[in-house]
């Protein structure tokens, strides 16, 4: 008997075991065992699939959140780290002590100045359509958007 279709080798193995069985009861027991094995493997596969549906997106979200925090604060952290390193090198042995311990303060000050500039830009009243702070809209042919309310 040829079993060349769905199942392939598995089906031929089942037919071989059925041909080697001693009686009908062993064939039925092997059939029930195969059914229970199929049901158990389907349930296990379903549980693994559900776990993957939950775990993979959540781990990707956690990795993306970590990358976002690194992107937001990474540059500022590097500036402060380089300022601390320059301070350590300048006051250490064979250090030039040009501006010495003030390099760390300069690094922190540069970061704080950049944060202040971003905050000042964002908190500026938007009066123009492109550049905040200008009292007029720059004409844009073909683009019409909502106008600001008259004060």
DSSP letter at 138 equals P
**Phi and psi angles of residue 6, each rounded to the nearest 5 degrees, phi first:** -65, 130
Q: How many other CB atoms are found less than 10 A from the CB of residue 87?
A: 20
pTM, two decimals, is 0.42
Q: Which uninterrupted H or E stretch holds 147?
A: none
**What size, in residues, is the chain?**
151
Q: Which of residues 149 and 124 earns the better pLDDT score?
A: 124
Q: How far, in Å, CA of 139 to CA of 129, rounded?
A: 9
Q: How far, in Å, CA of 48 to CA of 80, rounded?
A: 45
CA distances from 136 to 76, 120, 129, 147, 151 (A): 35, 20, 8, 11, 14
Q: Which of residues 35 and 96 earns the better pLDDT score?
A: 35
Q: How many other CB atoms are found less than 10 A from the CB of residue 50?
A: 10
Sign of the dihedral through C-alpha 93, 95, 101, 103: negative
Residue 147 has pLDDT above 70, yes or no: no
Q: Please write the tens of the pLDDT for every residue from 56-114.
A: 999 999 999 999 998 888 888 888 888 777 777 777 666 666 666 677 777 788 888 88
Report how far apart the first and last C-alpha atoms of the chain are (Å, whole number): 90
Report residue 132's pLDDT band, with 50, 70 and 90 as the boundaries: low
Report residue 3's pLDDT band, with 50, 70 and 90 as the boundaries: very low
């Amino acid at each position: 008997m040829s079993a060349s279709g769905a199942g392939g080798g598995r089906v031929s193995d089942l037919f071989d075991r059925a041909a080697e069985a001693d009686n009908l009861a062993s064939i039925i027991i092997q059939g029930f065992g195969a059914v229970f094995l199929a049901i158990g493997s389907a349930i296990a596969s379903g549980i693994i699939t559900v776990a993957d549906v939950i775990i993979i997106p959540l781990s990707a979200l956690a990795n993306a959140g970590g990358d976002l925090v690194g992107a937001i604060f990474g540059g500022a952290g590097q500036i402060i780290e380089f300022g601390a390193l320059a301070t350590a090198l300048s006051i250490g042995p064979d250090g030039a002590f040009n501006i010495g311990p003030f390099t760390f303060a300069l690094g922190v000050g540069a970061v704080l100045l950049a944060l202040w500039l971003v905050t000042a830009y964002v908190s500026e009243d938007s009066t123009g359509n492109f550049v905040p702070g200008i009292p007029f809209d720059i004409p844009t042919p073909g683009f019409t958007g909502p106008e600001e309310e008259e004060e």
